[in-house]
């Protein structure tokens, strides 16, 4: 629907522009030669416009692609000059017996004159593209502000229950100690997990080692549930003082435990976190369980995609593979 609307706007604008150009011809009249040269010029300018609008500016109008942008503009000018020469100096001469420039025109004079005529339709698509991007940015910012307000309201509403649950778990822990060490440790692990989720930082990021500790506590809690047949291979490498968005890794582990097999010693759940040169690689693989699943909606993975797009735009890569037996997710972050 948006594409049809955009095309309609472009068609209407070109009708108005060309109507203005050729309206004088309908009123005062013109010669065939003059009309032919005007048509060829506008046709080539139209091609030039859309080369810039659809290819050059969307691909290269970025801070780190200035050389490519200049190259794209120069290529567009070269195409303009070549097409004009082909149509007006070759085809028109062959078909109609006339051409545009005098026979004594030098190559440099021809090129410099056409550079002048091409400039207008280099600048115009830049202005159109810039205005469109400005409107799109405004729409995105407005939606983000609305989402922030909704998220803040949702967060405030949810604060009562987590704090109440955390305090209750501490009380249950004190009651569980004389009953069972295993039960008390399980409650303590769960309490630690809850406390971590309630901690917040101004930028929403935490130290990577704290995030790893959270993952380890989560794994240990599951181990209490399934031991002695609980097989998870969790290795880390290169962790120091890096920062990472809080709770960005846990959905992958949750997904592996929920949909995978944790009691197969030959094919354990494998979790590998490696940091090298500010590049984090987090791999989670598991044997796929074909047992009946619950009917949850999979909101966790939907949320993780959304969070990655918001927190690490153009700084992350998420790879998913599924061969029917093994499910593997690989997250790469530029920290």
What secondary structure does DSSP assign to 300-314, as a single string?
A: HHHHHHHHHHHHSTT
Lowest average pLDDT, out of 74-83, 84-93, 197-206, 306-315, goes to 197-206
> Terminus-to-terminus CA distance in the chain, angstroms?
38
**What local confidence, expressed as pLDDT, does residue 298 receive?**
47
Average pLDDT, the chain: 83
**What local confidence, expressed as pLDDT, does residue 152 receive?**
65
- Reduce the DSSP state of residue 58 to 3 states and report it: helix
Location of structure tokens 């305090």: 167
C-alpha distances out from residue 47 to 79, 174, 265, Å: 9, 77, 64
Each residue's pLDDT tens digit, 211-269: 898 898 888 888 877 778 889 999 999 988 899 988 889 889 988 988 889 888 889 99
Residue 296 has pLDDT above 70, yes or no: no
Each residue's pLDDT tens digit, 78-131: 999 999 999 999 999 999 899 999 888 899 999 999 999 999 899 999 988 888
**What local confidence, expressed as pLDDT, does residue 5 receive?**
79
Q: Are strands 269-276 and 232-237 parallel, antiparallel or unpaired?
A: parallel
**What local confidence, expressed as pLDDT, does residue 300 receive?**
62
Between 322 and 293, where is the model more confident? 322
**What local confidence, expressed as pLDDT, does residue 297 receive?**
43
Cα–Cα distance for residue pair 236/211, rounded to 1 Å? 12
**What local confidence, expressed as pLDDT, does residue 169 receive?**
62
Of the candidates 120, 97, 121, 101, the one whose C-alpha atom is nearest the C-alpha of residue 111 is 101
* 265, 235 contact by CB (below 8 A): no
**What local confidence, expressed as pLDDT, does residue 287 receive?**
92
* 256, 327 contact by CB (below 8 A): yes
**What local confidence, expressed as pLDDT, does residue 208 receive?**
92
Each residue's pLDDT tens digit, 124-175: 999 888 888 888 888 888 888 887 777 666 655 555 455 555 566 665 666 6
Q: Is 217 exposed, middle or buried (0-12, 13-18, 19+ CB in 10 A)?
A: middle
Each residue's pLDDT tens digit, 175-184: 667 767 766 7
Name the band, by pLDDT with cuts 50, 70 and 90, for residue 286.
very high
Between 296 and 150, where is the model more confident? 150
- Reduce the DSSP state of residue 285 to 3 states and report it: strand
**What local confidence, expressed as pLDDT, does residue 202 receive?**
62
**What local confidence, expressed as pLDDT, does residue 32 receive?**
86
Of the candidates 279, 283, 201, the one whose C-alpha atom is nearest the C-alpha of residue 247 is 201
**What local confidence, expressed as pLDDT, does residue 235 receive?**
94
Residue 48 has pLDDT above 80, yes or no: yes
**What local confidence, expressed as pLDDT, does residue 148 receive?**
74
């Amino acid at each position: 629907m948006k594409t049809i609307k955009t095309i309609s706007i472009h068609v209407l604008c070109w009708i108005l522009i060309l109507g203005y150009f050729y309206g004088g011809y309908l009123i005062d009249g013109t010669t065939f030669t003059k009309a032919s040269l005007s048509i060829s010029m506008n046709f080539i300018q139209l091609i030039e416009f859309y080369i810039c609008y659809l290819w050059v500016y969307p691909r290269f109008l970025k801070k780190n692609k200035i050389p490519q942008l200049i190259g794209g503009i120069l290529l567009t000018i070269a195409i303009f000059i070549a097409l004009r020469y082909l149509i007006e100096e070759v085809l028109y001469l062959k078909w109609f017996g006339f051409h545009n420039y005098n026979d004594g025109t030098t190559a440099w004079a021809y090129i410099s004159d056409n550079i002048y005529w091409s400039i207008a339709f280099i600048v115009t698509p830049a202005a159109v593209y810039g205005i469109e991007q400005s409107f799109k940015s405004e729409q995105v910012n407005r939606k983000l502000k609305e989402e922030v307000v909704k998220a803040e309201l949702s967060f405030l509403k949810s604060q009562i229950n987590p704090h109440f649950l955390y305090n209750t778990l501490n009380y249950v822990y004190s009651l569980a100690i004389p009953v069972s060490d295993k039960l008390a440790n399980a409650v303590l692990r769960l309490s630690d997990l809850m406390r971590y989720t309630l901690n917040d930082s101004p930028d929403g990021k935490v130290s990577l080692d704290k995030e790893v500790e959270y993952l380890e506590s989560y794994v240990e809690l599951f181990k209490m549930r399934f031991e002695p047949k609980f097989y998870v291979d969790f290795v880390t490498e290169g962790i120091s003082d890096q920062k990472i968005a809080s709770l960005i890794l846990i959905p992958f582990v949750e997904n592996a435990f929920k949909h995978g097999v944790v009691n197969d010693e030959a094919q354990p759940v494998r979790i590998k976190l490696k940091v090298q040169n500010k590049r984090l690689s987090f791999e989670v693989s598991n044997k796929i369980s074909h047992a009946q699943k619950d009917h949850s909606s999979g909101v966790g993975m939907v949320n993780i995609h959304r969070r990655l797009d918001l927190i690490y735009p153009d700084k992350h890569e998420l790879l998913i593979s599924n061969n029917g037996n093994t499910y593997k997710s690989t997250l790469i972050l530029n920290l």
